[in-house]
Amino acid sequence: MPKEAWRILDLEYPDPYMNLAVEEAIPRKVGEGKVPNTIRFWRNLNAVVIGCFQSAKLEVNFEACRSLGTTISRRFTGGGAVYQDQGNLNYAISIRKGHRLIPEDLLETFKILSSGAVEGLRMLGLNAKFKPLSDIQINGRKISGAAGSIRWGTVFHHGSILINSDLSILSKVLSAPDRGLKDKHVRSVRKTVTTIRDEVGRDISVDEVKEKLRMGIEKAFKIKLVDGTITREEKLLGEELFQSKYSTEIWNLGR
Amino acid sequence: MKGDYKVPGGKLIRVTIEEEDNRIQRISITGDFFFYPEEAFPQFEQALIGVKADEEAIREAVNLAYEKLGVVSVGVESKDFVAAVMQTLRGRPDA
């Protein structure tokens, strides 16, 4: 039997708000049945991305963001704040509801939809393991976090993978859990978080990581990924969401 | 008053409350948890306004909101929201 074909998009914008607007447009169109199940790879230039229930004021150091030119943005899924530069790769999965891969249980869904990234990291020779609720660890250190949602007729999951991000900026732009303990924050980030470059011990290109991730996803989900493009409808919806939601202060800083 | 409540397992619930006449007048709940459906969260917060500032009343309001809004949460349970609100009301932000 031929393998089920999904679309894969390599699609990113310089503007983090546009990246997040398209991140919502795609699962909406997948749910409507207008486009096939889709994987998207993308990166941000220099942004903090907070979860939809987080307080920007409490989680983000506004002053550090201002001086480092870091944009503060909010995604439509829950979970925690992340710092994203070009050394961080995002992958997003949109699957129409009712697909064979999706179990009833939400925790199990996180695990299954993280398995493509786990497989891809293993293909890079890393000892990658899923860590509930939605992380991937290498020897006890976090290398990837994920969030997800079930809405618009779609099961949606996205994760970010640290390839060679500047972890010192991460601890500057995200507020320390215990305020006043900045040094400790830097040290604790270094101890609990790792990157692909540090783990494989050499410089590694984003393209190499994408290729392995693509293979890992195909293997774990038993599908074939076919290079595709964003449709006109998705682009228009993305632009609309950019205007009405993702570029607005009320969405990004209103909580 | 403000309070941070660390859920066993790692998620954080951050609460800001204005209390008057032993009732919750305003409340804001934020954090890194997963709460479905996401768009029901403002109604969840709303359900705590006017509620008496004691554990029994808050538990009842939280449970009722979970049921009415069809809430499924991951990383936190309804009892964690109750504990976070109570801790904030008791003024033990660092507990």
ipTM of the complex: 0.95
Domains of chain A: 4-253 (3.30.930.10)
Mean pLDDT of chain A, nearest integer: 95
**Chain A contact set for B14 (CB, 8 A):** 55, 58
pTM score of the predicted model: 0.95
Q: Return the pLDDT at A6.
A: 98
**Chain A contact set for B31 (CB, 8 A):** 53-54
Name the strands in the sheet holding A82-85, side by side, starting at the edge strand that comes first in the sequence.
A71-74, A46-50, A82-85
Residue in chain B nearest A79 by alpha carbon: B32
Q: Is A148 on the interface with B (CB under 8 A)?
A: yes
C-alpha B56/C-alpha B79 separation (Å) is 11
C-alpha A66/C-alpha A48 separation (Å) is 12
Q: What is the CATH number of domain B2-89?
A: 3.30.390.50
Instruction: For residues A111-130, give the mean pLDDT.
Output: 98
Q: Return the pLDDT at B94.
A: 44
Q: Return the pLDDT at B95.
A: 40
Q: Return the pLDDT at A52.
A: 98
Yes or no: say if A29 and A225 are a contact pair by the CB < 8 Å rule.
Answer: no
pLDDT at residue A70 greater than cutoff 90: yes
pLDDT digit string (tens) for B24-38? 999 999 999 999 999
A179 pLDDT band (50/70/90 cuts)? very low
Q: Return the pLDDT at A182.
A: 55
pLDDT at residue A1 greater than cutoff 80: no
> Domain residues of chain B, as ranges?
2-89
- Which amino acid is located at A155 in the chain? V
Q: Return the pLDDT at B92.
A: 55
